[in-house]
């Protein structure tokens, strides 16, 4: 009896009593194989038909395998089959919604100037303190916009965004929700009848008189100690993350379109397959830049394959390096040709919470930045999540000057940066005018 026949017989013996829970795996097919053939191979095991990831040329599938004694047998069958080139566990990935350290227990808030004023900002109606915030002046947004204001599409793989936020009007293009497998990519779908009233009411008690939501080091929307209990355990931990990141992209590259790719749920949870699917989708739907404000300590062959596919199609990939305050490698920032971004203070030092080291290409301000938050609110936030989109926006500015710039030349231009105290942050702190003038 051959090994493959023995495996199939074993599968038939174990078929009874399969649990409902399935552990998922990414399966890369051999060049001449098909998902249909793979489904036939697994049909006797009780494993559901493989789902093919769009944009992968039909060669990458997700297979759910019952998590019991049968699992190892199915994995052996897959790895022994000539239909299969590689098998990888579909690992979880989380958004960096907590900071490992903080300069103080209660981070100081930025000074809010003109709190009651709004202004037109490249077709959108934005809160003036957001447009004129310190981070924007540090990286020279105003001067940069005399040269370029952005071009093309920036895909943002995150929790989605609020397309109706006035600050993002006209800046959003079609996206996709990989958590629900439908078009859109809007995180407002994560609100329910209990949480919607928190943000819908004009007089909601989490807002101060300046209509600013403050984020603490765990990114929970609060105003102060007295109002925290009002929303504790009410809004999901990562809700608003995607809207905030999109707001930073729009601040730097207001003429670019933002493509929301919702791979993370409102609690900040995703899987490698959802992220990989989003990368292929972004490339296939015309993205010029991909922003990834997340990281994982584990390398992934299929994540690397997807990034390489994007790079081969001249898509510039930018990722945050994480908030553990350590010299460690995280992915996708550590993948070759990805521009890894750290967080800097307003005095051009490394933020205490920011990771640093070999996977950092550049830093950008990431402390007390003012950003749009769902339902026409604004937030103050800390983290490398909000440094990365500044560099993604910078890439879009560069592409306006030279659409054929390419990944290598974009990285070279971005390396024209300001020095940072403390080192190990790559080229230094993002300077938009230096970057643009290097190719202008």
Closest among 18, 29, 14 to 63, alpha carbons compared: 29
DSSP 106: S
How many Cβ atoms sit within 10 Å of the Cβ of residue 20? 6
Express each pLDDT in 357-413 by its tens digit.
999 999 999 998 999 988 888 888 889 999 999 999 999 999 999 999 999 999 999
Q: What is the DSSP string of 18-73?
A: --S-EEEEEEEEPTT--HHHHHHHHGGGTPPPPEEPTTTTT-EEEEEEESSTHHHH
Helix orientation angle between 272-284 and 301-312, rounded to the nearest 10 degrees: 10
CATH 3.40.50.200 residue ranges of the chain are 118-437
pLDDT at 440 over 70: no
User: In Å, what is the CA distance from 118 to each residue of 126, 138, 158, 164, 373?
Assistant: 5, 21, 27, 16, 15
pLDDT recorded at residue 45: 76
Peptide bond preceding 332: is omega within 30 degrees of 0, i.e. cis?
Answer: yes
Query: Looking at domain 3-90, which CATH architecture does it have?
Result: 2-Layer Sandwich (3.30)
Q: Compare 230 and 40 and report the one with higher pLDDT.
A: 40
The model's pTM is: 0.89
Cβ(253)–Cβ(122) below 8 Å:
no
Cβ(281)–Cβ(56) below 8 Å:
no
How many Cβ atoms sit within 10 Å of the Cβ of residue 72? 11
Q: What percent of the chain has pLDDT over 90?
A: 69
CATH 3.30.70 residue ranges of the chain are 3-90
Query: Looking at domain 118-437, which CATH architecture does it have?
Result: 3-Layer(aba) Sandwich (3.40)
Express each pLDDT in 86-142 by its tens digit.
999 999 999 986 443 343 444 567 777 777 889 999 999 999 999 999 999 999 999
* 231-264 exposure pattern, b = at least 16 Cβ within 10 A, e = fewer: beeebbbbbbbbbbbbbbbbbbbbbbbbbbbbbb
């Amino acid at each position: 009896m051959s090994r493959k026949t023995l495996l199939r017989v074993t599968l038939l013996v174990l078929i009874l009593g399969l649990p409902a829970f399935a552990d998922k795996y990414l399966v890369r097919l051999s060049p001449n194989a098909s998902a249909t053939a793979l489904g036939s191979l697994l049909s006797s095991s009780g494993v559901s038909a493989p789902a093919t990831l769009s944009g992968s040329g039909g060669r990458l599938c997700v297979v759910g395998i019952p998590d019991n004694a049968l699992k190892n047998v199915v994995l052996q069958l897959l790895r022994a089959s000539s239909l299969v080139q590689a098998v990888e566990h579909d690992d979880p990935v989380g958004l960096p919604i907590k900071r490992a350290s903080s300069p103080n227990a209660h981070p100081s808030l930025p000074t809010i100037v003109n709190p009651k004023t709004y202004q037109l900002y490249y077709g959108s109606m934005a809160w003036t303190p957001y447009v004129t915030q310190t981070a924007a002046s540090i990286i020279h947004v105003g001067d940069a916009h005399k040269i370029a204001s952005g071009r093309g599409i920036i895909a943002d793989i995150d929790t989605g965004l609020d397309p109706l936020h006035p600050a993002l009007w006209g800046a959003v293009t079609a996206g996709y929700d990989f958590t629900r497998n439908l078009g859109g990519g809007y995180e407002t779908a994560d609100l329910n009848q209990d949480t919607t009233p928190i943000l819908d009411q004009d007089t909601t008690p989490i807002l101060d008189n300046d209509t600013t939501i403050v984020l603490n080091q765990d990114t929970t929307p609060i105003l102060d100690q007295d109002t925290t209990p009002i929303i504790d355990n009410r809004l999901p931990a990562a809700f608003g993350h995607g809207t905030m990141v999109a707001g930073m992209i729009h601040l730097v590259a207001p003429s670019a379109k933002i493509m929301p790719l919702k791979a993370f749920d409102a609690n900040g949870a995703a899987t490698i397959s959802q992220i990989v699917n989003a990368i292929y989708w972004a490339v296939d739907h015309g993205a010029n830049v991909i922003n990834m404000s997340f990281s994982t300590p584990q390398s992934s062959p299929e994540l690397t394959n997807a990034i390489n596919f994007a790079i081969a199609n001249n898509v510039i990939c930018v990722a945050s390096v994480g908030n553990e305050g350590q010299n460690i490698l995280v992915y996708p920032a550590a993948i070759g040709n990805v521009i890894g971004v750290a967080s800097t203070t307003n005095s051009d030092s490394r933020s205490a919470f920011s990771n640093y080291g070999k996977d950092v290409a550049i830093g950008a301000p990431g402390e007390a930045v003012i950003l749009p938050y769902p339902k026409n609110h604004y937030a103050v936030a800390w983290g490398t999540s909000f440094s990365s989109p500044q560099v993604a926006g910078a890439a879009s500015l560069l592409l306006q000057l030279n659409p054929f710039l390419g990944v290598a030349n974009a990285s070279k231009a971005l390396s024209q940066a300001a020095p940072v105290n403390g080192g190990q942050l790559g080229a230094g702190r993002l300077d938009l005018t230096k970057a643009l003038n290097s190719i202008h």
